[in-house]
Structure 1
Amino acid sequence: MIQEILARQQHESWGAKVIERLSKDLRRDFPEMKGFSARNLKYMRALAETYPDELFVQQLVAQIPWGHNVRILDKVTTSQEREWYIYKTIENGWSRNVLELQIDSGLYRRQGKAVTNFTRTLPPAQSDLAQQLLKDPYNFDFLTLGQDAHERDLERGLLVHIRQFLLELGAGFSFVGSQYHLDVGGDDFYIDLLFYHLKLRCFVAIDLKMGKFIPEYAGKMNFYLSVLDDQLRHPSDEPSIGLILCRTDNQLVVEYALRDVNKPIGV
């Protein structure tokens, strides 16, 4: 049908209102079928022009609902980015609303952009996967925090909106606890948020900071990860990963701070 639309338009020219006439013909000939509005047919034409590779359409584009394809056609301008959102929709089972939220938040441009030391501290396959799971920046627009808010206010806000927070973190994160208690030689320490990642097969400790990154944060997280690996990590688990969430960061400062740290940390 799509090829018929393109062929008719090439033969009869754009001014011939091919789509409008074809829409009327189809609705007349197939009154029991839906989806033949002029608007839908225009999207079909756009889809055919956007994805000329029929194999790509069959193997990927056809795997997501029509409404998802329409959103991608409307909102995404480059072929590489469109393909990325199609892959992620299939991989994560995004609803149309979630897909639209991810596009509007610029997920494609944020994914995998956190500064980390993963290439030095994790095996190659684990490092690549972990890097792609982290973002910079994270989008917490669902929170309403004032300028004078503290880390505990941020933590409480994320827990109140845990569904949105998990959506922003991405697929695979399973919540373990907040202010997770660690007993080290009788001294008490607390991890702001602790998760287990089902794909990475490891614990992920998150430290929340309302200000800019300072090097001392890396040492503190390195300590947490050492304790987690000693006390919680199962023999079949991968090394625990730390994520430090700050309001701002100086990339060069982060790189120096993580250079000689032997635990996998992202900022």
Structure 2
Amino acid sequence: MTFYALGQWIVKEQGEKRAKYGHYIIKKLSAALTEKYGRGFSEDTLKNARKFYLTYRDRISETVFSLFGDTPPFILSWSHYLILMRIENDEERSFYEIEAAKSMWNVRTLQRQYNSSLYERLALSRDKSEIMRLASEGIVVSQPRDIVKQPTVLEFLGLEEKARYVESDLETAIIDKLQKFLLEMGKGYLFEARQKRFTFNEDSYYVDLVFYNRLLRCYVLIDLKVDKLTHQDLGQMQMYVNYYDRYVKLDDEKPTIGILLCKEKNDALVQITLPEESNIFASEYKLYLPDKGILQNKLREWIAEEDGFQE
């Protein structure tokens, strides 16, 4: 509230006057506040206070004074807002505000989620009507596809991009960084097992990773593919899901979800292989942070195509 008030005063005092005069005001105010109150009022801080006011002046009652209700689970710090103010798109900024508060992200987590383009990746996994819901409600997990991102970013594993490695390398790295992997996968995940074995007709099969999602109340099976996804991979996952649905899940639990994390996938192959209402999803994984500009352009193009299709 202090920084907002300072920003408001600076903007009103500067008015439409020259930038040089505005710099003079900030410099003089910084010196006066520092002399009276000590550290914490540098010129950069006051410039950020001005930006804070300009960013949030239309939402002051909601964001600064009563963030997400009278008793929010987590109040965002000034350091959180320094990151949020860099986000130009209002809907995207709103999404990160809501998720940071609801999920109690520290500053480092907020920075990582923004750098990994979480908003764009989630938006590209949904239809247009649900994109606005992201901006107003954050992540709401109510159906299987809500837990899938395109792509899944695994830069925290520390694996180098190289021509060849095996699935066990990826699996071991995920287990070693399980907490960060759960954060990337999303809300409600509980880890159960790796290389989960089950036997059917005297043959043994192994699921790479088995999770349970308490929000959807269902098992989530994850298979790792370091090569291009094939229809055989999809068929194998369908068998895994069918087995869990018939022999493992309880009557009051929801159908099992299967996720194939693969290096490369063909959307047309996935669509023609799986039933339309399938609970099986394929997501490419990236061992590096995606190019945010490319994802933003892709999202804008996708929304434009949706608008043209509806017209």
Which string of whole-angstrom CA distances, capped at 9 and with x for unpartnered residues, describes residues 49-72 of structure 1? Answer: 112222332344893111011022
Which string of whole-angstrom CA distances, capped at 9 and with x for unpartnered residues, describes residues 12-64 of structure 1? Answer: 64322212222222233334xx5322222211111111122223323448931
The letter of the residue matching 2:25 is: V
Which string of whole-angstrom CA distances, capped at 9 and with x for unpartnered residues, describes residues 214-245 of structure 1? Answer: 12222211211121122332333221111011
The letter of the residue matching 1:188 is: S
> Residue 105 of structure 1 is aligned with which of 116, 120, 131?
116
1 CA distance for matches of 2:89 and 2:35? 37
State, as a whole percentage, how many aligned pairs show the same letter.
Answer: 28
Q: Please, which moves more after superposition, 248-257 or 57-66?
A: 57-66
Normalised TM-score (structure 2):
0.74
The letter of the residue matching 1:178 is: R
1:112/1:134 contact within 8 Å kept? no
Summarize the Cα distance change of 1:114–1:153 in structure 2 as closer, same or farther, 3 Å threshold: farther
In structure 1, the residue matched to 2:76 is 64
Is residue 222 from structure 1 mapped to residue 238 from structure 2 by the alignment? yes
Q: Which runs of 5+ in 2 are unaligned?
A: 69-73, 127-139, 283-311
In structure 2, the residue matched to 1:92 is 103
1:23/1:37 contact within 8 Å kept? yes
In structure 2, the residue matched to 1:73 is 85
RMSD: 2.5
Name the SS for the 1:189 alignment partner. Answer: strand
Name the SS for the 2:165 alignment partner. Answer: coil
The letter of the residue matching 1:98 is: T
In structure 2, the residue matched to 1:46 is 51
Which string of whole-angstrom CA distances, capped at 9 and with x for unpartnered residues, describes residues 161-192 of structure 1? Answer: 22232222123211111011112243321111
Count of residues in Structure 1 that have an aligned counterpart in Structure 2: 254
What's the CA shift for 1:73?
Answer: 2.1
2 CA distance for matches of 1:225 and 1:234? 14
User: Equivalent residues in 2 for 1:21-32 (5 A)?
Assistant: 21-31=28-38
